[in-house]
Amino acid sequence: MPRSRSAPTIHDVAAAAEVSVSTVSRVLNAKEDVAAATFARVQGVIEALGYESSMAARGMRSSSTQVIGLIMPDMDHSYGIEVIKAASRVITGTAYDLVAMTCGSKHHAERGRWQQQRVRRLNGTITDGVIVVVPDVASFDTDYPLVAIDRMVAGATYASVSSDNQGGALAVMAYLLGLGHTRIGYVDGLEFLESAAHRRAGYLAALEAAGLPVDPSLIQPGDFKRSAGRVAMRHFAALADPPTAIFACNDDMALGVMEEAQLLGIKVPEALSVVGYDNVPEAANARPALTSVDQGIEPMVQMAIELLLELISGRERGGDSARMQEQIKMPSRLVVRDSCMTPAPRPDRQMPSRKATAKPVAAQPATAQQATAKSIKKGGEAPLHA
């Protein structure tokens, strides 16, 4: 056997099996019209040679590669990693393979260009469709199967699935209000991200629904970093009428809030309740364990992949799928841990309509209802979109 050091091609297989390349191709693709004996012989040669068809050539000719791409800004952030892990798990159950690619976490401004470039690069050549994580652009100029995960910008022309940020925020607020808090501070996120905007909208909507006033001094800006939580905490502590609970737009900031509170001698949860968002692993390890909102990355990714596969098969069947621009919202889940409790009664301030519910005995962390409060607010998505 002429041991060619470079990978064998379909021609090598054909020659060794003494058939034409067409027949080998038919065997590879499990087509009809090939005799059982021939089929077995060719398959044997394939095994023997360790032949594997070139996905580049195959993809070029048949525009079906059985590979889906995952494009993300970077792989340093834990969120992206979670997505990869979930996608890796989900894809195992399908006939597809997964390739992950970063699009260089360049400056925010030019990231859109990079995403476009990556999408185009994969498009129609080595993948049958792509999932883009946290896209920065409103539209990709292609009709090839694509679904975005999280943080669609308003008016996106592509399919996307993201978590119900507003619903999650509403769940947090319902929980906090239910505990008896009426002064709830909010640490905001970067305003140009839809996720942050929706969470904030949930915070405001919940206040309004509860008939509580919106106090601007209770809303502090943030950038998702831990340090922002710390400065926000310092600000809140300096207030004449400080909040009894703080809802931070993400866990990192909530952790920052807790750190700074400890430094200031404010005990969590006794003197201050804190809630985060994202349910990162550190949330469970914090002291006290941080109550947070779990976005359920895995079901989100699963949904995205299912939708993508449907788009792909729909495209193969001809006409454009009706779901090409579908925007799916996944429910979030409030994970109650130890960082919240009923607010301590404040002697200097009279509670108009409440009786003395806050007996000292009630002063224990509210860990009873473990991770139950589902926040499936079905119709709660309109207010933000104009």
Residue 169, phi then psi, degrees to nearest 5? -65, -40
Closest to DNA by CB, 18 or 191:
18
From 46-54, 199-207, 230-238, 349-357, give the range in contact with a second copy by CB under 8 A: 46-54
Q: Does 124 bind a second copy (CB under 8 A)?
A: yes
Determine the interface stretch with DNA among 54-62, 65-73, 87-95, 200-208 (rule: CB under 7 A). Answer: 54-62
| 204 is an interface residue for a second copy by CB under 8 A | no
Query: Using only C-alpha atoms, what is the Rg of the chain?
Result: 27
Choose the contact partner of 25 out of DNA, a second copy, none; CB within 5 to 8 A by kind.
DNA
Touching DNA, residues 308-337 (CB under 7 A) = none
Q: 330-348 burial, b for 16+ CB within 10 Å, e for fewer?
A: bbbbbbbbbbbbbbbbeee
How many Å apart are CA 12 and CA 305, to the nearest integer? 36
Query: Binds 62, which of a second copy, DNA, none (CB < 5 to 8 A, cut-off by type)?
Result: DNA
When CB distances are held under 5 to 8 angstroms depending on the partner's kind, the choice from DNA, a second copy, none that residue 101 binds is a second copy
Instruction: Write the burial class of residue 290 (CB in 10 Å: 0-12 exposed, 13-18 middle, 19+ buried).
Output: buried
Q: Which of 20, 29, 92, 369 binds a second copy (CB under 8 A)?
A: 92
- Contact between 10 and DNA (CB under 7 A)? yes
And the tokens for 125? Answer: 């050549």
d(CA 43, CA 27): 7
Pick the stretch among 4-12, 174-182, 184-192, 345-353 that binds DNA (CB under 7 A): 4-12
Helices (H), the chain: 10-17, 21-28, 36-49, 55-62, 78-91, 108-122, 165-179, 194-209, 226-238, 251-263, 281-285, 297-316
Q: Is position 306 an interface residue for a second copy (rule: CB under 8 A)?
A: no
Give the one residue of 15, 28, 328, 351 binding DNA; rule: CB under 7 A.
Answer: 28
Among 16, 19, 67, 193, binds DNA (CB under 7 A): 19
Residues 9, 15, 17, 19, CA torsion sign: positive
Task: Work out which of 15, 21, 237, 362 binds DNA, going by CB under 7 A.
Answer: 21
- Per the structure block, which two tokens stand in for 61? 């000719």
Which token pair is 287?
């002291």
Q: Give the binding-site size for DNA (rule: CB under 7 A).
A: 32
Q: Which stretch binds a second copy (CB under 8 A): 16-24, 122-130, 150-158, 268-276?
A: 122-130
Burial class from Cβ neighbours inside 10 Å (0-12, 13-18, 19+) for residue 74 reads middle
**Among all chains, which residue has been given the structure tokens 């809030």?**
257
Alpha carbon 223 to chain centroid distance?
18
SS3 183: coil
**Side chain identity, residue 171:** A
Which does residue 28 bind out of a second copy, DNA, none, counting CB within 5 to 8 angstroms by kind?
Answer: DNA
Residues binding DNA (CB under 7 A):
6, 9-11, 18-25, 28-29, 31-39, 51, 53-54, 57-58, 60-62, 64
Residues binding a second copy (CB under 8 A):
5-7, 50-52, 54-57, 59-60, 74-76, 81, 84-85, 88-89, 92, 97-102, 104, 116-117, 120-126, 141-144, 285
